[in-house]
Amino acid sequence: MLLADLYVDKIDLDRYFSEEECMAAGFADCREFIAALKAGRQRPEDCRSLSAAKRYALSLALRAKEILPPVQSLELPRPVPPELYGINEPDAGAPVLVTGNNEFTLTVLTGLLALTVSPFYLLLVDCRGDTADMAMIYRSFTAQRLDQRR
């Protein structure tokens, strides 16, 4: 079975840290800090200069290959019904995350979002079942499609 590339090796950790945070963790610069994290020489939970939320997010990003489910790569769209899902008991003021109605996108997102504690809605827009990246290329994910949800 051919698996889809979920681009976890492309996560750019550098953009999430200031030089001060990297130095407070005991490193000369962020490049050295991130290299130590990726090599396992530094653990996120040992970085007490970072907020608890940032340590948690960092631990997820570093374990993304372990957390994300394997997703079969297919050439055909895999649509699921375009629906609104409530996650973590959202109220009227909860944010709304929007994506296309692809089965694999839904699998990956719900796997990740199950690890969160924040309440929000997940809105699946009818993109004919295209994945998020293909929906942008095929222009099946548009403002007009989102507007159809009202």
Mean pLDDT, to the nearest integer, of 25-39?
Answer: 94
CA–CA dist 130, 50 (Å, integer): 38
What pLDDT, in 10s, does the model give residues 104-142?
889 888 888 888 889 999 999 999 999 888 888 889 988
- For the entire predicted model, the pTM comes to 0.57
Answer yes or no: are the C-beta atoms of 98 and 127 closer than 8 Å: no
Residues 78, 128 contacting (CB under 8 angstroms): no
Query: How far apart are alpha carbons 98 and 140 in whole angstroms?
Result: 14
Distance CA 102, CA 81 (A): 9
CA-wise closest residue to 37 among 16, 53, 7: 16
Q: Tell me which residue of 118, 115, 76, 81 sits closest to 100, measured CA to CA.
A: 81
- Identify the architecture of domain 84-147 in CATH: 3-Layer(aba) Sandwich (3.40)
For residue 70, name the pLDDT band (cuts at 50, 70, 90): confident
| DSSP code per residue over 9-37 | GG--GGGG--HHHHHHTT-SSHHHHHHHH
Question: Among residues 48, 46, 61, which one has the least CA distance to residue 16?
Answer: 61
What is the 3-state composition of the chain as percent helix, strand, coil, each rounded to the nearest 5? 45, 15, 45
The predicted structure's pLDDT at residue 146: 78
pLDDT in tens, 36-67: 999 999 999 999 989 999 999 999 999 998 88
Rounded CA-CA distance 119/86 in Å is 8
Percent of the chain with pLDDT over 90: 55
- pLDDT of 150 strictly over 70: no
